Structure 1
């Protein structure tokens, strides 16, 4: 059978078109070799992307590209590129890439993952309206009470230190959840850990790169079943909290929480019930895990580097002593403790990769094309562990922040704004609106923990030390150490008595669930 010339040419064009899918277009930054159709999918890591992304950065440079089927991703592991593209040109890089999983679960209303739209702007504007630096100062006494609760829990049961979201719940809804086992707290964390894993890169098939995978029947797609259950669990919690708050406002039993203000100004702020519910939910998610994960990394680092722990304790003892607990204003007199706080962010950033952005327009940077619609990853891990920027980056060394304001090598000429240690809270228009609240919480908790306890290695049945692994971390967009054994002891009887005393005094500060 003779094949006609038009058919032959048509088949040839189709073949060439398919062959080009996955190839790197002209003008893109360099990157790993691609395969037809797949691009770089065949070499994409299944989890812990930041390790492979950093390895590629050392090979291809601080700005390189990846092909995920027909889609393009650009990875930034360069401080100047982050400052220029994500801060100075934030209007062009403020979008999020489409995430089908987030659409299924939240309808696109989870603030951190939402696309750049009018609905996102309403959420963002409201968050900035209520989470001002001045407003965050009002909640320092509550944060101190919550930090005291943590010390009290560790003092009485150091083996069972776990996260709790009482601080952010108190601020948002005027409710305490001082125990992990509290009904709503347990329900939240059960849902949240599933949700966090579900949104982690590699957790589901490449649904956004290969959309046809979305049409797999639910009975053959476990990820669809998990999405459906997570949506039910989220809505039961978030809209339940909202209904309780609305009932309190209507009955005149207000307690000054943020969400009360949101409900009273709902029309002014342009929020319907869906937006209000997911605003509260997004803020709970943002504030529930990050501080706890940060503190676990701090404890892990102090155990692995006892010299740093000793220096921090000596400084806090000089400033605070044994006869009172630290106050937030004491931090101004403790440069080494401030350095410990910054070094923990650098050493083990809670988000090793910032939540990816998406380019709204074509941008040119140093001769490279950053095309409209591409996904942009900011590789915080790679930047903070760059040996060109930091001496011995794999060592926990707070002293680096005593030498230079951003911890980089003294011989480098860098402005303080070039590498903000707190850029782990996000960049550009996507930076965390609750950064002031989060920083107060971290500062208070770090001072309290270092003042109160000694952290050291545990021992096994034979009496040998159980060495902690500073690289053994959980999977997820935000991540903390996998469970590890350690020994936590109060530094003195007087400190233990002060903890007990302040715990009793602060116990009635906010409402219990």
Structure 2
């Protein structure tokens, strides 16, 4: 009891000191500028207690409607600005990217859990630049094109299992996205979702999402708590233990590939490429292991989440599924599966994908950028050290760009009457540099791979399957919520019921035959289930 009282007193003293330091260091506003407007806060804590613990982007959207496209929050004295229009986000995070490409070094996720090794959270320094160069080598457009046979194989596998057990759609979509990156990153093929190595990797992924979620750890709000010794700070002991686990995982994967490379037995994969080009990058061994390992983190769940939202859209908008099927049938016919060569002639597939990511962005709250020096935007002062949050939920609902923004409407990308329409339709719409992937130098390096995956999956599922609301035992249609999403910074809809059936017996046979052929020709068939 005495220890807990001492701990509480130390915590309170450190928090009070932290707030005092932030208040004392308040920057001076340049002449002719002013702080942005924002919701009034409370003494000492500011807006800290006003922010919901989950889905904070919904509240941020309400505040944007009230205070404008750039508004200010104070969290216990720390500056946070929220950007809510594409124009403001582009000006700050793309055009002025040299000033807005860093990250705050949050104690919990960055320093303790990641050991300052995770590329997602690198500050804007030479390590960041070297890591981005490596990611570009692995994920650039020409490289992404070479991965299409692997995407074709895994999409056929997904379709085969989705038709057989549609209620397990979450698992099949997760296996597609994780299985694809498993092959590309580590040269290994997943047998199923129970692969022990895959479970270890997913444990790391889920830990990052949990720890980095806003409000998960008090030390992120009051960094001065890092000064506590480990025996007084259980959060330190916990997160350092988790860091040891993930560091061992990524190092083991890289060392295993190095041994195979030296023996001439390594399959083509990202880790082999890094090992062969390692001298070209000024990265430590641990940084290199984390770059490749965390590319899996970035890709394993996001594509699956986007596809779950697309299924939700089709359940609520069966007329859009019929439009998709009509165009796919006209271009592809009924005697083969859609492939990548069909995509220039399937603008509605691309529109459905883009509208899904607009309507239900995977990273709905965006990831914050950190300003490195004082700046002024539209008369509003942005001090150095300010977190800039691009709120994708609000950015994708800007009425000037997206009329009737709450409506799922792929035609906004296909009809000249909408401001988002672009020609030619053999090229547009596409997902390149779309704000759902982030902004500027922090844009998702795997966007070329993600775009190809989502387009192919949408086309193939729509070609093969009918999707509709399920009829319950009482004879009534089962209700499916429009917005019932998991918490975290990457979000997907909670499991929902729907009926999925094959459109014809002939299409069923084509899927089964394609699956058999792909599995027989799998270049990694001897490496399944490592």
TM-score by length of 2: 0.87
SS in 1 for 2:468: strand
TM-score (norm 1): 0.90
Question: Could you list the per-position Cα deviations for residues 140-183 of structure 1 after superposition, in whole angstroms to 9, with x for gaps in the alignment?
Answer: 01111011111011122212121121101111111112421222
Corresponding residue to 1:113 among 106, 121, 130: 121
Alpha-carbon distance, 1:258 to partner: 1.8
Cα distance, 1:318–1:271 mapped onto 2, change above 3 Å: same
Could you give the per-residue CA deviations for residues 310-369 of structure 1, whole angstroms, max 9, x where no partner exists? Answer: 111111111112100001121211222121011011010011122110001111111111
Instruction: Specify the alignment match of 2:200 in structure 1.
Output: 187
Q: What is the aligned partner in structure 1 of residue 346 from structure 2? A: 334
Residue ranges of structure 2 left out of the alignment (5+ in a row): 1-16, 423-427
Rounded Cα–Cα distance in structure 1 between residues aligned with 2:242 and 2:299: 19
Q: Which runs of 5+ in 1 are unaligned?
A: 1-13, 411-415
More deviation in 300-309 or 227-236?
227-236
Name the Cα RMSD after superposition: 2.5
For 1:123, the equivalent position in structure 2 comes to 131
**TM alignment of 1:70-109, pairs within 5 A:** 70-101=77-108, 102-109=110-117
Q: Is the 8 A contact 1:297 1:344 kept in 2?
A: yes
Partner-residue secondary structure (3-state), 2:121: coil
8 Å CA contact 1:62–1:76 kept in 2: the answer is: yes
The aligned residue for residue 212 of structure 1 is: 224
Matched residue count = 492
Give the distance between the partners of 1:224 and 1:285, measured in 2 at CA. 23
Moved more, 481-490 or 367-376: 481-490
> Offset of 1:244 from its aligned partner?
1.7
Corresponding residue of 2:376: 364
- Contact persistence 2:137–2:143 (CA under 8 A): no
After superposition, give the CA deviation of every residue in 1:209-265 in whole Å (9 maximum; x if it has no partner).
Answer: 312334567678665455234323322322222122111101101222121010122
Structure 2 residue 60 is matched with structure 1 residue 46:
no
- Counterpart in the other structure of 1:348: 360
Residues 1:139 and 1:379: Cα distance change in structure 2 (over 3 Å): same
Alignment of 1:476-491 (within 5 A): 476-491=488-503
**Once the 2 structures are TM-superposed, how far is the Cα of residue 194 of structure 1 from its aligned partner?**
2.8
Deviates more, 1:360-369 or 1:110-119: 110-119
Q: CA deviation at 1:20?
A: 5.3
- Residue 346 of structure 1 contacts residue 421 of structure 1 at CA under 8 Å; is this kept in 2? no
Partner Cα distance (1:198, 1:470) in 2: 27
On the 8 A contact 1:22/1:71 being kept in 2, the answer is no
Cα distance in 1 for residues equivalent to 2:473 and 2:228: 51
**Matched ranges for 1:218-297 at <5 A:** 223-224=235-236, 226-297=238-309
Q: Does 1:174 align with 2:187?
A: yes
Bigger CA drift: 263-272 or 274-283? 263-272
For residues 419-454 of structure 1, the C-alpha deviation after alignment (integer angstroms, 9 at most, x for no partner) is: 977221111111112211111111111111111111
Structure-2 change in CA distance of 1:374 and 1:467 (3 Å): same
Q: Return closer, same or farther for 1:433/1:405 CA change in 2, 3 Å cut-off.
A: farther
